[in-house]
Amino acid sequence: EVQLVESGGGLVQPGRSLRLSCTASGFAFGDYAMSWFRQAPGKGLEWVGFIRSKAYGGTTEYAASVKGRFTVSRDDSKSIAYLQMNSLKTEDTAVYYCTKEGCSGGRCYSNCWGQGTLVTVSS
């Protein structure tokens, strides 16, 4: 069974940092691109960024709202994707979802979603 489990969320003050982890199982993690999305309370879905598989260079792309502050990375030996979030703002408050894309090189649908982890940015 394909499974994604996010961890690392919590309450953090504005300007501080937080790192989210996404532990994957049930599929060949290294073969797929991985994405992060977020959903503010009562709002719609927003793409945050993704990382391609190593076969496609392991390169990353980001939404403009997080570019320069957030970094997506991956450890294929541990089947974990990370979202490093720096200089957090109150508007970053959301449930963050890790997803497996259906392709290796990005530009793809997300066919498996984690349960999400809540990040609250507040003083």
Partner 1 sequence: DIVMTQSPDSLAVSLGERATINCKSSQSVLNSSNNKNYLAWYQQKPGQPPKLLIYWASTRESGVPDRFSGGGSGTDFTLTISSLQAEDVAVYYCQQYYATPYTFGQGTKLEIK
Site residue total, partner 1 (CB under 8 A)? 22
Segment interacting with partner 1 (CB under 8 A) among 19-27, 68-76, 81-89, 110-118: 110-118
Of 74 and 100, the one with the shorter C-beta distance to partner 1 is 100
- Binding partner 1 (rule: CB under 8 A), the pick from 8, 30, 58, 63 is 63
- Binding partner 1 (rule: CB under 8 A), the pick from 5, 106, 118, 120 is 106
Please report how close the Cβ of residue 25 comes to partner 1 at its closest, in angstroms. 16
Per CB under 8 A, does 44 bind partner 1?
Answer: yes
Q: What is the 3-state secondary structure (H, E, C) of the chain?
A: CCEEEEECCEEECCCCCEEEEEEEECCCHHHCCEEEEEECCCCCEEEEEEECCHHHCCCEEECCCCECCEEEEEECCCCEEEEEECCCCHHHCEEEEEEEECCCCCCCCEEEECCCEEEEECC
Per CB under 8 A, does 45 bind partner 1?
Answer: yes
Indicate the Cα dihedral angle 31, 33, 39, 44, nearest 10°. -110
Of 87 and 111, the one with the shorter C-beta distance to partner 1 is 111
Place of tokens 């260079």: 57
Give contact residues for partner 1 (rule: CB under 8 A).
Answer: 35, 44-47, 50, 61, 63-64, 97, 102, 106-116
